[in-house]
Amino acid sequence: MKMPTALLSWFDDQLNTLPDYSYSPDRINGLLEDPPAGITQAKFKYGSVPLRKSGPKGWTYFPADDDGTRLARISCTPSGRVTPVTIMVKLFKKAFTATDDDTYTVADDAIITIDNLSSHGSVEYRQTGCKRRKVTICK
C-alpha cells in the first residue's frame, strides 16, 4: 500500500471512530474555550470550526495519491490561548486548468485535535559535545 493511500485510509478510519460534534456549535466553542486536560480528538464539519484556517503559515500538505487526493494538517492557536489546535482535513484535486493546477476542494469532515498538555521543562544539548540530549526541569 502506498503511503498516500495508507494515510487516507487512516484518516477515514479515524473519522469513523471519533465522536461527531458537527451539529453542536456549543460543543465546538466549549472545547476550544475550556479544553479538557490531555489530548482531545473529535470530528467536526470543516467550515464550522471557528478558527483562522487561511494563509500560508500553519499548513502542512501530505503526499497526494494518484487522483490528487491528499491530507492537510492545519496548525493554529485560538486567539488569547496557548493551547495548540490541529485540524486534519482531506483535500480533493479539482480538474486541471491551464492557469491553476493546484486547486483543491475541502472535504466536509475534519478531525480536530486539541493538545492541552502543558510543558514543564526544556530540552537542551549537553555542553560536553556529545549528541545525546538532557532534560532540564524548570521550576
Q: Measured on CA atoms in the order 122, 126, 130, 134, is the torsion positive or negative?
A: negative
Question: Per-block average pLDDT, block size 10, for the chain (139 residues)?
Answer: 86 92 75 84 84 71 89 81 84 70 83 78 55 57
**pLDDT the model gives residue 77:** 72
Q: Would the pTM of this model clear 0.85, i.e. be above it? A: no
**pLDDT the model gives residue 131:** 57
What the block records as the C-alpha cell of 34 is 475550556
- Say whether 18 sits in a helix, a strand or coil: coil
**pLDDT the model gives residue 83:** 78
What the block records as the C-alpha cell of 88 is 486534519
The whole domain housing 101 covers: 3-137
Q: How many structural domains compose the chain?
A: 1
Q: Are strands 104-116 and 121-125 parallel, antiparallel or unpaired?
A: unpaired
CA trace torsion 42, 87, 65, 6 (10° rounding): -40
CA 18 from chain center: how many Å? 14
